[in-house]
Structure formats: C-alpha cells, structure tokens
Structure 1
Amino acid sequence: MESKLRSLFHDPEYYTKSFDCFAALSAKFSELANWGETVFGEAVVDKIKITLGDNEELRVLGVGSGSGEMDVQMLTKLLRRFPLINNRVVEPAMDQLVKYKALAQSKANDLHGVTCDWRQQTIAQYEKAGDSKKFHFISSIHSIYYVGDVDRCMMYLYDRLEPGGVLLVITYSDDSGWWRFRNHFPSFQDSLVTFTNSSLIRGSLERRGIPCTLYHQRSRFEITQCFDEASEEGALLVDFLTHVIKLKETAPAQLYKEVIEYLGSDHCSEKSGDDVLFNNYWDAVVVCKPVD
C-alpha cells in the first residue's frame, strides 16, 4: 500500500463505520436477501444430499458471517427441510458478533430449532485450534478476501464438508468494478487482505478436479456522492471502495484525483443522467461434495 495510506483493517471501528455506509447505499443486505429468497433454495438447499435421524442436527458453518443478515436468511430456508440445525459462526470482529446475536434473538421465532455456537476467530485461528468437526453446509459470504491464502482456505473448507454437503462462496465477479479497481491500483492492497474473484475461486477448485456451479448476479449502486467533496457519506464510501482510511486526507492530491477519476470511469461505473452507478457484480460459487 502507498506510504502513509492505512488499510481499513488497521482500525476496526472505522472499518465498521465505512462498511455501514456502503451497506446502506448499496442495499447490500436486501440484494443478498433477495438472492437468498429466490435462488438459495434451488442452488443450495435442494443440493444437500444428507439423511438425518429424527433428533440429528444439520451442521452449518458460517465463515466471516458479519452481522448475520444473510446467515439468518439462509437458516430460515434450511429449517424448512431440516428442523434441527447447529449453526457455528466464525467471525473475528466482536462488534459484528454482537449484532448477529441481537439479530438472532430478534428472529427467535423464525429460528426455532437453531442453536448457535459463536467463535470470535478468523478462519485461520479456527483452523489452527484443530477442531475436526465436519459440516453439511458451509458459507463464506464476501469474506474470502480476508483469509490470507485463498487457495489453501478453499481446500480447508472443502475438507470440512461432509460427503453430500454443500459449500457456498460469494465473491466479486471477474468483470466487477471492484476487481478492475484492484487490478488498476495494486499498491492499495494490504497484507491483511487478499482480493480475489470468482474466476480464481473456480480455478482453485478446477485444479483439483472439484466441480462447481456459478450463479452470476448483476448489481449496481449509486456512488454520485463520492464526487461531492463536501459529502461525508461520499468520503466514507470512497474509503470503503478503496479500503483506505481517510483517503482524501492522506493520499497525495494527484493519486486521489486518479482514484476518483477511475471510480467514475466506464472501467468501474456507468452514467445514468447525472448519477454514477458502480458496477457491483458478484457471483455465488456452489460446490457439492459427492457422497462416498
């Protein structure tokens, strides 16, 4: 990363602040919820080839589940087929776990039959702890960027699947504004983040002969406020898009100008009248582990 520029991951409080701005402006959770409502059943639930006894739980692992909005959506779908679920959550940020627990409590009626096992850990820390438990469904929703060695992590998660289980990884598409920005400004990458896309995820699987199914999701959101220097929301959004703390205040003026111009260019965005819409395409990669 450019000297004097600090990654969001060196300030968890500021990360959360900028992420919340992004989530609100991009309708992140409503888009994921819509996918969960319309596609998840066919793409995941119907593909789980598991036979459970009357009192046996479906074992679920959420990797980097954040504040739990997508997880809760998926759990309610899974409950329609599997009435008992043990949901293990691996999430390193305590403030996110607090939000997830509060959400689960508020949705207690919808989550009847679900027991939660909370782990404040990164997936690397969880792996190092040596728990050998296997799962029928594993999800990583926009969290694979923070695992370090993506290839190794994918194989670890696949190994943690029971035969007949399903792994779901949601990540940026190859043609998304996110990916193009990262390629154009590689020096912005931080040792704590490994930006990847669905093509790299699929390549990791294919090299090992593991088939997968891709579900492509077209998505855009307005970033017009990023170009208003008086907009606090715009500044926070720029910081999240670049993953840099207070980019405008810390970057050289020429670099900041290049960043803003690139975000607004047709590499990342498109114009709709006076609005600038960021290309937020993402993919869901679904892996079904064969039954022995």
Structure 2
Amino acid sequence: MASQSLPCLYKNPDHYLKAFHIFCSASGKFNVYQAWVDGERFSEAVVDKLQATLDGQEGLRVLGVGSGSGEIDCAILKRLLRQFPRIDNRVVDPSDELLGRYKALAESKAHQLHGVTCDWRQQTIEQYEKAGDLTKFHFISAIDSIYHAEDALDSWLTYLYSRLENGGVMLVIMRTDDSGFTRFLNGFQRFHANYHDVTSGDVRSCLDRLGITYTQYRQPRRMNITTCFDRASEEGNLLLDFLTFTVCFREAAPEGLQTWVMEHLASSDCLERKGDEILLNLDWDAVVVNKPLGMVG
C-alpha cells in the first residue's frame, strides 16, 4: 500500500483539533501534567534552580514553545508566580486557533495570573529564529511540541539552548522511546509519507551529542482506548484518528490495513488489560536542562 494514500491528520487542522481534544480527555493529559507541576519534582528540577540563580528583584522571562491551548503553560505560570511575582511570558505557536484558545484561557484565569504579561507570536520555532529576536529567557518549556522535528532536532535544541540565560532552565516533555504508543507508531509509520516521530530518547541523544547535561524524570501514564475497538463509537474513531495520525482512518484505510493496525494496537507490545479496559502505555519523560552560570553564548 502506498504511504501517500493515508490523509495526514496534521494537514487538516479542524479534524486534528477534534481528535486532539478526544485524546487529551481520554488520556487525562492536562491533569497528569498539572499534578507533576504541583509536585516536588517540578519544584526540585525547575523552581529551586531558578531561585538559586535569579536576583529576587528581577522579573522572570519565560518562553513557551508550541504551547497549544495553554492549559499546561498556565499551570506552570501559576506555580512560578509563588516565587516570582512578575513574569514576562512569550508564547510561540504556529496555530492561530490554539493561540486564540490560550488567550481566552489566560483571560479567564487573569485573577490567578496577576503579574504575568503575555507576548503572543504566531510562528513556528524556525520562523521565530529567523525573525532574529535576541531576547534570552530564564525558563523555556517545550511540552509535547517537537514530535516531527527529527531532521532539525539538533539545530532546534541548539537554538533554544542559546536563548537560555546562564543559570536558566529548559524543560522538554516527550513520550518515551519504549512506551506502548511509540511501539505502535514504530510499526505503523511506514504507512505515512515523510513521517518522523521524535521521542525523549532522541532528545537525550541529541543533548549528549551537543555536550549539554540534563536530568531525566520518568513518569508513568495510561490511557483507556477501549472505545477504539468499537466501530460505532464516534469518540473511539476520533481517538483512533489521533493515534494513527490519519483523517477518518476507518474510511481512508483499506480493510486489510485496518485489520493489521487493530491487531498491532491490541498486542501486548502496546497495551495492558485491566478487567474490561484496554489501556495504552503513554509513559513520558521530563528532560530538564540547567544552563551553567558563566557560560558564553
């Protein structure tokens, strides 16, 4: 089967947002990240490092890369405000729709984000770099935002590291290279043209090549995908579209491919069973870089 025959989800923004919404709901994505940000690990990995290097009178400069609709960024900003009462928050995301949602969310939480000023940039990180802004940041986050940057990963991370202030912290959150979802995609990716999938393992390997030290925090996560095996479930079909990166997978894929994909997804390599529930392993890593004081450039 020709890989080009499957319509890519990322080329249909409206359908992507529908499928992404279902994925976030089914996986509890925002709640999981919120709990991590509110916990000891985030304090240890990010807040304590920033407190140790920042002048208490200086405002905190934050860069969010691929921040999407802003739920995770807002949780991070609320946590940082406990120690840093003035935050300049720059957001770089190419989606006008998602930036609009982020703006609306920030407005609805204005009472919780008092002290935060936002600067919105509807750009890819490549476009942002080409614009030549020389601002440096104390904290940079890239959360689930570089899954298809395989060919540009080294330059992407090198650039972000150059935008980090000495003593600053960069947080990259990615799905692990051995999660069930990754194992599923490794078998399925040949059915999409020019498909690349970046995991936390790729990020760590890249940082190793660049000589940039980091700390890794592994976090378990499971998602109930039982509805994916119910052809009549609208939610399940949208979730399957997200997992396969395909617009209307059950309509677009021939029967033989559908059978293979569902059997692959149902294999023990990808999921676990708990009673009547079918759970997909979505383990993720938080990779934290602390730029040493005294660095040049």
CA contact (8 A) 2:139 2:170 kept: yes
Q: CA offset at residue 241 of structure 1?
A: 0.6
Cα RMSD (Å): 1.4
- Take 1:250 and 1:223, find their aligned partners in 2: how far apart are those partners? 20
Percentage of matched positions with identical amino acids: 53
Report runs of 4+ in structure 1 exceeding 3 Å deviation.
188-191
Q: Does the alignment pair 1:186 with 2:169?
A: no
Per the TM alignment, residue 91 of structure 1 is displaced from its structure 2 partner at its CA by: 0.9
Q: TM-score, normalised by structure 2?
A: 0.94
Distance 2:152 2:204 in 1: 15
Contiguous gaps of at least 5 residues in structure 2: none
State the one-letter code of the partner of 1:184: G
What CA distance in whole angstroms lies between the structure 1 residues aligned with 2:264 and 2:48?
42
Q: How many residues align?
A: 290
Alignment match, 2:153 = 150
Q: Aligned letter for 1:31?
A: V
Candidates 225, 228, 232, aligned match of 1:226: 228
Give TM-score scaled by structure 1 length: 0.96
| In structure 2, C-alpha distance between the alignment counterparts of 1:220 and 1:126, rounded to whole Å | 34
Question: Counterpart in 2 of 1:68?
Answer: 70
**1:99 matched residue in structure 2:** 101
Aligned partner of 1:238 in structure 2 is 240
Pair 1:207-2:209 in alignment: yes
Give matches, 1:47-126, under 5 Å.
47-48=49-50, 49-52=52-55, 54=57, 56-126=58-128
Paired AA for residue 23 in structure 2:
F
Q: Secondary structure at the match of 1:111?
A: coil
Whichever residue aligns with residue 35 of structure 1, its letter is W
Give the Å deviation of 1:279.
0.5
User: 1:197: Cα distance to partner?
Assistant: 1.2
Q: Distance in 2 between matches of 1:92 and 1:260?
A: 32
Match of 1:21 in 2: 22
Cα deviation 1:34-71 (Å, max 9, x = unaligned): 111113122211112432363x3211000000111110
Match of 1:168 in 2: 171
Hey, what's the Cα distance between the residues in 1 that align with 2:196 and 2:118? 28
Asked if the contact 2:3–2:193 (Cα under 8 Å) also holds between the matched residues in 1, the reply is no
Question: Unaligned regions of 5+ residues in structure 1, if any?
Answer: none
Q: Structure 1's 217 and 116: CA in aligned 2 closer, same or farther, altered over 3 A?
A: same
Note if contact 2:4-2:192 (Cα within 8 Å) is conserved in structure 1: no
CA shift for structure 1 position 200: 1.1
Write the letter of the residue equivalent to 1:280: L
Q: For residues 131-171 of structure 1, what are the alpha-carbon distances to aligned partners after superposition, in whole Å with 9 as ceiling and x for unaligned?
A: 11111000000001144511211111111101000000000
Distance 1:271 1:102, change over 3 A: same
Distance 1:220 1:111 in 2: 31
